[in-house]
Amino acid sequence: MERNTRQRTAIAKALREAGRPLLPHEILEQARVVAPTLSLATVYRNLKQLVDDGTLHLVHLPGEAARFEPAGGVHHHHFQCRHCERVYDVLGCADHLDAMLPRGFTVDDHEITLYGRCADCQRRARRVAAAQRRS
């Protein structure tokens, strides 16, 4: 049976409060606020366990290390900001994906990743552009 250690609680809290998928080292950083002795090995061990028991979901983006988010949300995909590299959930989905398939293939799942600028970085870029126009 599982125990509620200070470390495990801190890891779960960090992910619940983040609102976006986090990398192991981001989780370590956040969770250390609550559990300062926390080690990266413990983060990995807990993540594996929490994914196995269905509490967390793994978020794999192309060319990126695994991130983690609380399970239980609806079907969604992800957006990565080209500037700050953070990942956000996006609701909704594209259709007609099976129309793309070669003959003889069957699909049972899909992943969609969008790239661009998040609202924060977009705002920041606009502010910089405005300042340059002014000068």
Partner DNA sequence: GTGGATGCAAACTCTTTGCACCTTG
Partner DNA sequence: CAAGGTGCAAAGAGTTTGCATCCAC
Residue 47: is it exposed, middle or buried by C-beta count within 10 angstroms (0-12/13-18/19+)? buried
d(CA 125, CA 113): 22
Amino acid at 92: G
Considering only residues 49, 115, 127, 130, which one is a binding residue for a second copy as defined by CB under 8 A? 115
Member of 6, 16, 25, 82 binding a second copy (CB under 8 A): 82
In whole angstroms, what is the distance from residue 22 CA to residue 18 CA? 8
48 sits near DNA (criterion: CB under 7 A) = yes
Determine, following the binding rule CB under 8 A, whether residue 96 of this chain makes contact with a second copy: yes
Q: Quick check: 100 binds DNA (CB under 7 A)?
A: no
Residues at the contact surface with a second copy, assessed by CB under 8 A: 58, 60-63, 66, 77, 79, 82, 88, 90-119, 122-123
